[in-house]
Structure 1
């Protein structure tokens, strides 16, 4: 008689894992649309930029978090680098909307991305099973 394995229970994301990317996407979309507007009238282009950039940030934030959670305890470099590249690109894009020079947008993005890399690498490494506490 053949044995059948029960399907694995579906892992649903927690409420903060859904709400925080949504809030980040909404805030980013409003911020991007507001920067591009430059104090003028609201146009369809402003609304489209805000919706698209906010949806993209929310989706990427949720996707990176979900992928990173599956890599728990390993791949510190890749996980931290992913968050660093994401945050650096996001800030660089916002600065470029404010008519900043391309060079300064790249430098600012690199500073923010590098800082995020260091912070998330430290967080992932210190929370891992490899960070033993000596007594």
Structure 2
């Protein structure tokens, strides 16, 4: 039986149209970027007052996060599964490591947290991509 099918029926229906998918492809990275930027600025101010530089720092972090996330969502499916999983794990590890480093831990702890998360992300994503592609690297849905 083909992935994405059930006995006696064809593919599972796609409840969203193409326009909604295009909108979501923009809204998700922007929304996640705004949450990430707020979190970075909150960690950076250590419970003190909100300043203009703090807000600016959070907006820059949000912009960088959103651009990289959107790029990975757009270009990732065109890459080999190993590269795709490696890029997502590097992004996740760097994002969490940077976020954690804003709270001033020792550098080696921030690096270890980042590497541990990147390793776990790589294993999970590689497994996901490996089980959803054929031997030639074509997606199976």
TM-score normalised by length of structure 2: 0.78
Residues paired across the two proteins, number: 118
CA RMSD of superposed structures (Å):
1.8
Q: Which residue of 2 aligns with 1:4?
A: none
Uncovered stretches (5+) of structure 1, i.e. residues with no partner: 1-10
Correspondence 1:116 to 2:121: yes
Q: Which residue of 2 aligns with 1:25?
A: 33
Query: In structure 2, what is the Cα distance between the partners aligned to 1:108 and 1:38?
Result: 20
1:66 deviates by: 0.7
Uncovered stretches (5+) of structure 2, i.e. residues with no partner: 1-17
Query: In structure 2, what is the Cα distance between the partners aligned to 1:119 and 1:22?
Result: 24
Query: In structure 1, what is the Cα distance between the partners aligned to 2:131 and 2:27?
Result: 26
1:129 deviates by: 2.5
Query: In structure 1, what is the Cα distance between the partners aligned to 2:25 and 2:123?
Result: 22
Moved over 4 A (4+): none
Correspondence 1:107 to 2:107: no
TM-score normalised by length of structure 1: 0.81
Q: Tell me whether 86-95 or 15-24 shows the greater mean CA deviation.
A: 15-24
Query: In structure 1, what is the Cα distance between the partners aligned to 2:97 and 2:106?
Result: 10
Q: Which residue of 2 aligns with 1:39?
A: 47
Aligned partners of 2:77 and 2:84 also within 8 Å = no
